[in-house]
Structure 1
């Protein structure tokens, strides 16, 4: 396996990572019929905050209509799909797209390659409005409506197949089908993604929330002591309308694990339940003791549960005694449709700034999650595998003969560059490995299968990175018979470590804890493409140089010359050095780009 093959493998895997994790480039061709963006969540119900405005409400054969998707509520959308379809009851088929759209920047065909019958975003870009041009077919097809799906920024809420007002042709009276009625447009509490804080907080009730300085919240937990019980309220705006939960946890420290949890759920019904965090997994308590639901509601996209919890926990060891102060966590995510189990939280849970005495009525604000260790881990891995390993590998492969008579501190220059880069890779990887294990205090879990691979790959990469220099310390002398075994082993371990290292970095850019911009993974893809191009160029230069040596040998009649005491620099040495300088500059640019995104996170 040569380096061309190695980087081809990295390129193929890296390019597919964004599509595996999400659809930031609109890879939803299979959604041509139902216009579902395949984000895994449930579509939002009307009203929609995104209006479809038309330049005209009638059309003729070959005419055009300007269609504008616009936010009326100050929200931005980062993804969309659009089609025109038959609207009247006379049409048996009201799912086949009609006419064509003119593609604009960051859009591409939705319904088949080369067909503009529908459009979808090709890149995740925040927009408050977008105007598109639709061209009617050469023959009129009947009355139509435009169907639009929008995905909101910064979350992934979406409104599926929102319908415009009808656009009529001259075929006759309009009899709208029920699925072609114009969708109600308007701003709701959910769209604003906030609700008002409880004015009693810190006075007659205790509170833990993320309410901002204007008194607007996305979640709130309140409590008040009532004899031997504590009356709690959980209030939150979930990410979807069904199969969701908001939960509070009680812990003796600020890390998850060995925590008592109370869940407020909306599945087939509204309910509360208790569970327990064993390490990083959650288990529903078999006996739902010590808790009584008073009321529950889901109105205006706000999930609310009011319940009573025995302060001592009714003797259940998994219901902690709240006579003792505890830290409070808040988390939300999806639940199984049966309500039997909650899934891992979507966003990282927040934790109270101190242990809370639930017999008091103090007001606490959520503490932002400290991502410094996670980001330091990511930055070190970028330096290790995007910068140091990339340069060190290229130098070892292609630059051994470039400085044949030059040494630095007693060793060939290429070797010193290679060794320096690999030592930097080793140190950065090991430090990053230690940092992340201290941070997560164990093993990182995720509901997304690709993210689950990240810690496993990280352990393998770290192991290989440590093994390779140990092998180098015991390498045989270059003139011994077994030297070739070391050469192959050293190359093989290093190559596998590098492939997995770049893949692990790419996956890391999409990890929930990092919360990096979607553009970060594309920087890794761009780096991989660049590395492949550099390898191809150097392979070509080396191939031409080897052919010139062969031709020179044949012109001398196959007679070997005496090897001089000093070797001359290859004819292509200057070109190779120029390529190396450019490579170092470009790799540093990719590194800086990733470090900037890490810093912004």
Structure 2
């Protein structure tokens, strides 16, 4: 009989126990204390709750960030409450898969909790003040769970003051688009760049919203963005162009906007399909902003001639120029940061990512002309004396090192050139591809000219030496310019830190070459053969140069990988 009672107790309590890890903790809404059979921690919490504004008005949206200062957390429960009160205020929407909405005190979406017990260092959610209600100052209260027996209850944010309702006579604002982000997370799925921007109030907001029925038979789409020819949305199985179902809002050439249905087979112009069952709600093209809203009953397909069975896709945005209703290569792109269910209203973060082939191109060019090429040039110019008398395969050691490093640079440049043109197949990108082509041509001239150079004692040898050195200098300058412009194409951060690091990298090389040149001049002034001390100095300079070079290189390679 005791075994029966034990079994019944396990069956009765198991749903509660299992529910904790997936965040279904509505039973803890009142006290915000998890049912973990342990007491809350009394020491200072290692976690913080921060907000992006110190006051609010009716209908305002506030970004709330939960963050661990020195350790991660497994679970959490977040509510907005009036100062001195305990009832939840307002509603939340989530922006990533680490958080889910809960109903507390009978109010839908009035709390947020975790979706799994995985370790988290930071979670961001959005809170919206109700449109009409009696308002007071509020505070965001959070319970953080580090482990089953270690948790902190009601960790508070700074107080957010209520500053009154919206003015009775609002300040006139410019309306950029008839499309708005007001219902994002509630009645439609949205992704934009910049994140959380509103196309109705921002002229620089590129925006997509979608909401599909559960049967995948009907879905509503809104697209808005700053463009001179078209804006488009793609439904894709990945974050890259190719095998995507696309809808394009394009300038027809007569001042009106057409909605086109298309399918992409790669990085070339998409194939225009019959429009199918599309009902256009509204379109506009004013002030450089193209907007359109429509309903489609076409089946989404991300494979040739086959309909996808799932409702989860990455959302891709693209915009660019058009001519006579035909789109040209895109100038602006981004994608959703994750694959999303089109039937689930939510607010997504944009997470555009460069294709691996583009990253490989950038990495190879960076290694070629900022590391192997630089070291090869430095050795040929300044390390001959330090390696004097040292030979291998009947060749001077400095010569073998120079030829090896420069050959690697030319080979890597050729591979990078082939990769990017096999991907892009055009000259888009401004000055960057032009500079890259010139670097490629001059880089190939170097070894070909060296293969036909005259002997060291020939009277015209100095012509080759000067031409070889001058061509190398031109290649270096153009390669640095190409790298700067290339990093500008992939670095979308506000600080533009990749280009700043590249600036430091170039300054480091210039400083190193100047120090070597100064050392050479001092030795020449003494009119003596470089001694062991001078050779040691040159070797030490080389070691320091390589260490600094590799440090900058690794930083930039990491940045390219994350771009």
TM-score (norm 1): 0.48
Q: 1:431 aligns with which of 408, 415, 435?
A: 415
Change over 3 Å in CA distance of 1:502–1:510 after alignment to 2: same
Alignment match of 1:384 (pick from 355, 358, 368):
368
Q: What secondary structure, in the 3-state scheme, does the structure 1 residue paired with 2:62 have? A: coil
The answer as to 2:458 corresponding to 1:465 is no
In structure 2, relative to structure 1, the CA distance for the partners of 1:193 and 1:496 (3 Å cut) is: farther
8 Å contact 1:381–1:432 — kept in the other structure? yes
Q: Which residue number corresponds to residue 99 of structure 2?
A: none
Number of residue pairs matched by the alignment: 377
C-alpha deviation, 1:526, in angstroms: 0.4
* Consecutive unaligned residues in structure 1, runs of 5 or more: 1-48, 54-70, 77-127, 129-164, 166-177, 184-188, 200-207, 211-216, 312-321, 354-360, 446-450, 553-566
- 1:350 CA displacement: 7.7
2:562 paired with 1:577: no
Q: Residue 17 of structure 1 aligns with which residue?
A: none
Deviations along 1:118-165, whole A, 9 cap, x unmatched?
Answer: xxxxxxxxxx9xxxxxxxxxxxxxxxxxxxxxxxxxxxxxxxxxxxx9
Corresponding residue number in structure 1 for 2:146: none
Report deviation, 1:400: 1.8
Partner of 1:395: 379
**Residue 74 of structure 1 pairs with residue 63 of structure 2:** yes
Unaligned runs of 5+ in 2: 1-50, 66-123, 125-162, 164-168, 174-178, 193-206
Equivalent residue, structure 1, for 2:479: 501
CA distance in 2, matches of 1:430, 1:519: 27
Alignment of structure 1 residues 330-369 onto 2, 5 Å: 331-332=316-317, 344-348=330-334
| CA apart distance, 1:442 | 1.2
| Distance in structure 2 (CA, Å) of the matches to 1:452 and 1:279 | 22
Q: What is the distance in 2 between the residues matched to 1:462 and 1:337?
A: 31
Q: How does the TM-score come out when normalised to structure 2?
A: 0.51
For residue 528 of structure 1, report the CA deviation from its aligned partner. Answer: 1.1
Q: Distance in 2 between matches of 1:414 and 1:516?
A: 44
For 1:291 and 1:477, the matched residues in 2 are separated by 75
SS at match of 1:524: helix
Shift in Å at residue 380 of structure 1?
Answer: 1.7
Give 2:294's aligned residue.
306
1:530 aligns to 2:522 (yes or no):
no
Cα displacement (A) at 1:337:
12
> Is 2:259 the counterpart of 1:273?
yes
SS in 1 for 2:453: coil
Tell me which residue corresponds to 2:221.
234
What's the CA shift for 1:495?
1.7
Q: Does 1:587 align with 2:549?
A: yes
- SS of structure 1 residue aligned to 2:232: strand
Q: Which has the higher contact order (CA 8 A, sep 6+)?
A: 1
Q: CA deviation at 1:223?
A: 8.0
**Alignment-derived partner of residue 210 in structure 2:** 220
Query: 1:195·1:218 contact (CA, 8 Å) conserved in 2?
Result: no
Which aligned pairs between 1:88-99 and structure 2 lie closer than 5 A? Answer: none
Distance 1:225 1:269 in 2: 36
Other-structure match for 1:262: 247
For the aligned residue pairs, the C-alpha RMSD in angstroms reads: 5.8
Aligned residues of 1:245 and 1:264 also touching (Cα < 8 A): yes
Q: Please give the alpha-carbon distance, in whole angstroms, between the structure 1 residues aligned to 2:477 and 2:183.
A: 42
Match among 426, 433, 438 for residue 443 of structure 1? 426
**How many Å apart are 1:308 and its aligned residue?**
5.6
Q: 1:22-68: CA deviations, max 9, x gaps?
A: xxxxxxxxxxxxxxxxxxxxxxxxxxx97688xxxxxxxxxxxxxxx
